[in-house]
């Protein structure tokens, strides 16, 4: 009876952790600087901008609280060019030449999301296909295959008395799944929709039906439009809308200002009574960004808010081959 009671407590804790805070019942990590690495939210974006990019993001939510939620993410994406076979008989060797356009993008994403006693680690591989619709627009489709581990950190639990359940080998489970995405870009704007946890896989942590939970499908719609004022200054209003099939939703909307494509800053409002302030800079191929989430509820009184750092390394060696792409 005591064991069943402990299982029930675990179940409530896991459900709360999956639905708590800024995620609003969405079982995917939350990012405040998604606009600089939209690929981690939509698989169709892998390679869509024509360059090879590496990105690292670290997010600490509600700093000041013990065991505050932490999300760390590493991703990479690239655009593959079509290959043309050319045989040089005089040198007796084969050489591959790249034409101006490629249609295939590849991506990799690894993240760890730690929330209290629940540790979520996911490894994702992405294939994307890009097709030009005219000289200055592109339609992309993407598919991600993921393998996610959910694990209960029993060392963070302190029961009233010893219980063998804490030593169970069923406190970790691997769940395969798929994500889908579609993304449309023009010279100045973009619009995308993505679906995460397509299979809605179920997990049995502890091996008991009472401890079962299911990954809900998460829907993500994002869009933005860049408005240039002059060659040095531009503004980009944008939004991100997230929801589940149970209609738990979250909306981010705001605006960023760019100066010479090297400096930027912006402000966003997020439903759930919070505001995000973000700024960043570029030095050659390196991009640095910082975001601070300020909550208008009582949590802000006891914490230092949410802090997020991101760093990107982008190689635009194909820039001349993709003149039709307007990248920031």
pLDDT value at residue 312 = 94
Cα 38-189-230 angle, rounded to 5 deg = 115
103 falls within a domain: yes
CATH (domain of 143): 2.40.160.40
315 falls within a domain: yes
126 falls within a domain: yes
Q: Rounded to an integer, what distance in angstroms lies between the CA atom of residue 197 and that of residue 176? A: 9
pLDDT value at residue 257 = 96
Per-residue pLDDT of the chain (328 residues; tens, 9 = 90+): 434 333 333 343 333 333 333 444 447 888 999 888 999 999 999 998 888 899 999 999 877 777 778 999 999 999 886 544 444 444 544 444 334 457 899 999 999 998 877 888 999 999 999 988 877 789 999 999 999 988 877 666 665 555 555 555 567 788 899 999 999 998 889 999 999 999 887 766 655 554 456 788 899 999 999 999 998 999 999 999 999 887 788 999 999 999 988 999 999 999 877 899 999 999 988 999 999 998 887 766 667 788 999 999 998 644 444 454 444 3
Question: Containing H/E element for 300?
Answer: helix 299-302
328 falls within a domain: no
For residues 181-219, one letter each, b for 16 or more C-beta atoms within 10 angstroms of the residue's C-beta and e for the rest, the string is bbbbbbeebbebbbbbbbeeeebebbebeebeeebbbbb
Question: pTM, whole model, 2 decimals?
Answer: 0.79
327 falls within a domain: no
* HSE of 285, CA atoms in CB hemisphere, 13 A: 11
Number of domains in the chain: 1
Residues of the domain holding 106: 2-322
pLDDT value at residue 46 = 95
């Amino acid at each position: 009876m005591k064991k069943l009671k402990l299982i029930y407590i675990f179940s409530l804790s896991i459900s709360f952790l999956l639905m708590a805070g800024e995620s609003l019942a969405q079982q995917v990590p939350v990012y405040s600087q998604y606009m600089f690495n939209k690929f981690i939210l939509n698989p169709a974006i892998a390679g869509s901008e024509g360059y090879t990019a590496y990105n690292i993001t670290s997010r600490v939510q509600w700093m000041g609280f013990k065991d505050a939620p932490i999300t760390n993410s590493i991703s990479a994406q690239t655009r593959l060019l079509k290959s043309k076979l050319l045989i040089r008989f005089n040198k007796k060797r084969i050489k591959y030449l790249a034409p101006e356009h490629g249609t295939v993008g590849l991506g990799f994403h690894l993240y760890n999301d730690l929330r209290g006693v629940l540790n979520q680690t996911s490894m994702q591989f992405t294939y994307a296909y890009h097709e030009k619709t005219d000289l200055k627009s592109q339609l992309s489709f993407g598919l991600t295959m993921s393998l996610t581990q959910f694990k209960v950190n029993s060392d963070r639990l302190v029961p009233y008395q010893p219980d063998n359940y804490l030593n169970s080998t069923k406190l970790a489970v691997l769940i395969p799944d798929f994500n889908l995405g579609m993304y449309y870009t023009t010279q100045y704007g973009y619009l995308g929709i993505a679906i995460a946890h397509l299979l809605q896989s179920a997990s049995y942590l502890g091996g008991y039906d009472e401890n079962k939970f299911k990954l809900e499908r998460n829907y993500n719609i994002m869009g933005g439009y860049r408005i240039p004022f002059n060659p040095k200054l531009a503004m980009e209003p944008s939004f991100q809308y997230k929801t589940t099939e149970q209609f738990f939703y979250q909306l981010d909307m705001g605006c960023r200002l760019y100066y010479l494509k090297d400096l930027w800053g912006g402000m966003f409002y997020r439903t759930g009574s919070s505001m995000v302030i973000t700024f960043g800079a570029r030095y050659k191929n390196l991009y640095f960004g910082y975001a601070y989430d300020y909550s208008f509820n009582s949590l802000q009184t006891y914490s230092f808010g949410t802090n997020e750092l991101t760093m990107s390394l982008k190689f635009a060696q194909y820039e001349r081959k993709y003149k039709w792409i307007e990248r920031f």
